[in-house]
Amino acid sequence: MERLKAALSYILIIVIILSLAVVLILSVGSDVPKSFMSFFRGIFGSLYGFSEVLVRATPLILAGLGVSIGFRTGFINIGAEGQIYWGAIAVTTTAYLFPGLPALIAIPLGIVAGFVAGGIWALIPGYLKARFGISEVINTIMFNYIAINILGILVRTVLKDPEYPLPMSSKLPEGFIFPLLMYPTRLHLGFLIALIAMVLVYVLMWKSSPGYKLRVVGLNQRASLCSGIPVKKYIVFSSLLSGGFAGIAGVGEIAGIHYKLLEGFSPGFGYVAIIVALLGKNNPFGVTAAGLGIAALQVGSLSMQRQAGVPASISWIIMGSIVLLILARSTLLTFFAEKEKEEKV
């Protein structure tokens, strides 16, 4: 019975979302069947389209995993965007410092640098929360602006490509660039790293003792303290991990897609990652599925824009609505259950 209700509620959400999509498509004066066709053709119609979904999903999964670790431990990390930026800065800087390294060393080094930089960027608000009780929500948001603008300064000064007038770095040395997995598509090593990260996070959180403690701290700080877990240390640890994975997302975007550091390389991956973590219920496999789903939504709507003239903006409206409905789902379920009971009496 419960399971049936849950299934029904998801079907209801799908129906609402589809109706909303139809209304939006009609309101911009486009043809509904054609729009839907082009949406799905965009995702499944070609190898390239499908690979684009994976490419889009890569940073979402990595940053989403990071955010989910934070959420599990009670560190509400809204700053994945800034941590992504630091990952990008770190890999570019490392590449500048050691340009001659072979790929076998350079790629892992870049990833580690990105992890450390993103991690430290999150660790500062983590420490402030653990030590002084300052809200990490505000701090991580503010840190986004700082990170974004530090990058802005860097690409105009020390990291600027002197031979090019625009504010961007020169191309990364060959060794640091992620190999493509399926030429001629843009699918790169980052996607594999995201999948490895998914397994790693699962093992860490559910099989290892530190992960167990992170989850315990997230669920009940007081009981953690009483059982002897150094709560503050684990909050700081969680912020480090959280930012670290987001940092790797930044590395992937630079070393796998753009090959150079530039402003605005992330169209808000860090913010979408929060949605990914929420939709994935902070479970690494859920996060991966949510990352792929949202990436597909975006890729599909881009195709819808090209072929049916429907603005891709509606994908954002739909994404917002999905999150709203899924978060409201459990509350509404109990609400209706109680209502039903009252009517019976």
Partner 1 sequence: MKDIDKYFFGKAANDKVSLEVKPGEIHALLGENGAGKTTLMNILYGIYQRDGGRITWKGEEIHFGSPREAIDNRIGMVHQHFMLVPTLTVSQNITLGLKSEGHPFPNRRSIDEKIRELLSAYNVHISPTDKVSSLSVGGEQWVEIIKLLYRNAELLILDEPTAVLTPQETERLFRVLEKLRQEGHSVIIITHRIPEVLEITDRVTILRDGRNVATVHTSETDSVELSHYMIGRELKTISRTPNTVSPQEEGLGLDELTVEENGRSVLGPLSLSVRKGEMIGIAGVDGNGQKYLAEAVLGVRDCSAGKVRLLGGDVSSASIQKRKDMGLGYIAEDRQNDALIMDMDMRENVLLRMYSKREYVKTGFIKYANVDETAKEMIETYNIKTAGLGKPVRYLSGGNQQKLILARELAGSPPVIIAFHPTRGLDIGATEFVRQKLLERRASGSSILLISSDLDEIFALSDRIAVLFHGKIMAVLENDGNVDVNYLGRLMAGESAESGSNSRRVE
Pick between residue 164 and residue 336 the one whose CB is nearest to partner 1: 336
In three-state secondary structure terms, 283 is coil
Options 25, 216, 254, 273; binder of partner 1; rule CB under 8 A: 216
Options 152, 173, 230, 311; binder of partner 1; rule CB under 8 A: 230
Residues 55, 121, 198, CA angle at the centre, nearest 5°?
40
Burial 95-133 (b: 16+ CB within 10 A, else e): bbeeeebebeebbebbbbbbbbbbbbbbbbbbbbbbeee
Check residue 331 for interaction with partner 1 (CB under 8 A): no
How far is residue 142's CA from residue 139's CA, in Å, rounded to a whole number? 5
Pick between residue 2 and residue 163 the one whose CB is nearest to partner 1: 2
Check residue 56 for interaction with partner 1 (CB under 8 A): no
Judge contact between 301 and 322, C-beta under 8 A: no
| CB of residue 124 to partner 1, shortest distance in Å | 26
Strand pairing partners for 180? Answer: 188
Side chain identity at 143, as an amino acid letter?
Answer: F
Residues 195, 199, 201, CA angle at the centre, nearest 5°?
110
Check residue 345 for interaction with partner 1 (CB under 8 A): yes
Nearest Cα to Cα of residue 66 among 219, 231, 251, 232? 251
Size of site (CB under 8 A) for partner 1? 20
Judge contact between 273 and 64, C-beta under 8 A: yes
Pick between residue 129 and residue 215 the one whose CB is nearest to partner 1: 215
Check residue 4 for interaction with partner 1 (CB under 8 A): no
Check residue 135 for interaction with partner 1 (CB under 8 A): no
Check residue 219 for interaction with partner 1 (CB under 8 A): yes
Check residue 330 for interaction with partner 1 (CB under 8 A): no
Q: Which stretch binds partner 1 (CB under 8 A): 147-155, 183-191, 227-235, 294-302?
A: 227-235
| CB of residue 207 to partner 1, shortest distance in Å | 6
List interacting residues with partner 1 (CB under 8 A). Answer: 207-210, 212-213, 215-216, 219-220, 222-223, 225-230, 342, 345
